[in-house]
Amino acid sequence: MTDNAVARAMKTIEGCVDPKSLRKIAANARQKGELAVAHAADLRLYEILPSEAPGTFEHDVWRSIHALEGTLTSEREKTTRLGRTRPKIARVGEVETIKDLIMGAKPSEGFFMLIERQMADFTFEAVALRHPDRFDDAVLDAAAARLRSVGIEVDRP
């Protein structure tokens, strides 16, 4: 793609609210080797997929779930769902699920998958730190420590 075509694609992605179109743009970009365009389309897709209102804690949680599922689906070339996380959220809710994952003895597989793919912003640890009113200090401290342990800078002291 020419620089002009890439710029046009990025502009299209920025305003797109149709998941089907974004998936097609990402697939076409991958096929052409335009990984930056594919990544931008994927990120936009993860932003619009949650049914919750943007900016809310719930939107942030589901954006993270869609990001990990979408990345794994793309890499594995078959639909991949978080078979333990989704049912747990249905049982105990988003806050309790995230708290349990953060306070676990070791980081979840999903944490490492997102870190390896340079998507630290989508980890539940990052979600918790963006919504400190939902968690107590022990959870927030554990989230910050876990992110620091893999070289991610956080503002929490």
| Burial (CB count within 10 angstroms: exposed 0-12, middle 13-18, buried 19+), residue 67 | buried
10-69 confidence digits (pLDDT tens): 999 999 999 999 999 999 999 999 999 999 999 999 999 999 999 999 999 999 999 999
Say how far apart CA 154 and CA 16 lie, in whole Å.
Answer: 31
Based on the domain organization, do 76 and 13 belong to the same domain? no
Domain count, the chain: 2
Count the helices and strands in the chain (H runs, E runs). Answer: 9, 0
Based on the domain organization, do 151 and 77 belong to the same domain? yes
Contact 114, 150 (CB under 8 A): no
Based on the domain organization, do 64 and 44 belong to the same domain? no
The domain boundary residue, chosen from 9, 28, 48: 48
Based on the domain organization, do 101 and 65 belong to the same domain? yes
The domain containing residue 42 runs over which residues? 1-48
Q: Please state the pTM of the whole predicted model.
A: 0.89
102-127 confidence digits (pLDDT tens): 999 999 999 999 999 999 999 999 99
